[in-house]
C-alpha cells in the first residue's frame, strides 16, 4: 500500500457497474430539473441520457427518465437521495436487462447525397420504424426509434450513406402489461 499523505482514506475496491433506468415523477416547477441534475453532479453520479417532459398538466407532474450507471450501492443512494427532494413524488428503477420494461430512444438522421446512397440508408433504417419527415432531391430527414446501442450502430453505419447530422433524445421507459408503477 502506498504511504498516505492525505487526511482521507484510500478509495476502496472497484465494484461492478450496472446500467439502470431511473424514472422520477416530479412537480413541474421552476428549478426542479436543476435539483435532480444537481444531485447527480454534486454526488458524482453518472447521467448517460436524460428525457423530461410534463405528463400531467392538470396535476402539474413531469416525468424525468435518467439512464445511469453505478454499483448497486450507488444506485440505491441515487434512489434514496432523489426521494428526499421535496418536489419528487416517486422514483422507479429498472435494470436495462429487464424484459418487462420497454426502453426507447428516438433519433433524427439527415442524409445528403445521391438517391442511390440515401435509399440504401433508408433501407437499413426500416427495422427501426423509419419515418421520412422531409424529402428533397438531394436530402432526406429520417426518424427512427430504437434502443441506444442500435442507434449508436446506425449512426456509425450510415456515415458512408451520406449521414451528415444526428439529433437524438434520451431514453424513455414504460413497463409492459397492465401494471402501473405506484
Residues between 102 and 121 that touch other proteins (CB under 8 A): none
Q: What DSSP element (H or E) covers 172? A: strand 172-175
Q: By CB under 8 A, what part of segment 44-73 binds other proteins?
A: 73
Nearer to other proteins, 30 or 126 (CB): 30
Where in 74-93 is the site for other proteins (CB under 8 A)? 76-77, 80-81, 83-86
- Candidates 4-12, 135-143, 145-153, 158-166: pick the segment binding other proteins (CB under 8 A): 4-12
Residue placing its CB nearer to other proteins in the complex, 47 or 147: 47
Query: Do the beta carbons of residue 139 and residue 121 sit within 8 Å?
Result: no
> Cα–Cα distance between 4 and 135 in angstroms, integer?
63
Largest CA distance in the chain: 68
Look at residues 97, 106, 117, 99 and name the one whose alpha carbon lies nearest to residue 151.
Answer: 106
The minimum distance between CB 32 and other proteins, in angstroms, equals 11
- CB burial string 98-137: b at 16+ within 10 A, e below: eeebebbbbbbbbbebeeebbebbbebbeebebeeeeeee
Q: What mask of x and - would describe binding to other proteins in positions 17 to 46, judged by CB under 8 A?
A: -------------xx--xx--x---x----
Would you tell me which residues interact with other proteins (CB under 8 A)? 1, 3-10, 12-13, 30-31, 34-35, 38, 42, 73, 76-77, 80-81, 83-86
Amino acid at each position: 500500500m502506498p504511504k498516505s499523505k492525505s487526511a482521507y482514506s484510500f478509495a476502496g475496491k472497484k465494484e461492478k457497474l450496472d446500467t439502470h433506468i431511473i424514472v422520477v415523477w416530479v412537480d413541474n416547477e421552476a428549478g426542479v430539473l436543476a435539483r435532480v441534475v444537481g444531485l447527480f453532479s454534486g454526488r458524482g453520479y453518472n447521467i448517460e441520457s436524460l428525457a423530461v417532459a410534463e405528463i400531467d398538466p392538470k396535476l402539474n407532474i413531469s416525468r424525468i427518465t435518467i439512464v445511469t450507471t453505478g454499483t448497486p450501492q450507488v444506485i440505491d443512494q441515487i434512489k434514496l437521495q432523489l426521494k428526499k427532494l421535496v418536489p419528487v413524488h416517486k422514483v422507479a428503477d429498472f435494470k436495462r436487462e429487464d424484459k418487462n420494461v420497454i426502453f426507447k430512444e428516438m433519433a433524427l438522421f439527415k442524409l445528403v447525397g445521391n438517391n442511390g446512397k440515401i435509399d440504401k440508408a433508408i433501407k437499413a433504417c426500416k427495422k427501426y420504424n423509419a419515418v421520412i419527415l422531409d424529402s428533397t432531391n438531394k436530402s432526406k430527414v429520417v426518424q427512427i426509434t430504437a434502443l441506444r446501442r442500435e442507434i449508436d450502430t446506425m449512426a456509425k453505419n450510415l456515415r458512408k450513406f451520406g449521414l451528415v447530422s444526428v439529433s437524438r433524445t434520451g431514453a424513455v421507459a414504460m413497463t409492459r402489461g397492465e401494471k402501473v408503477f405506484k
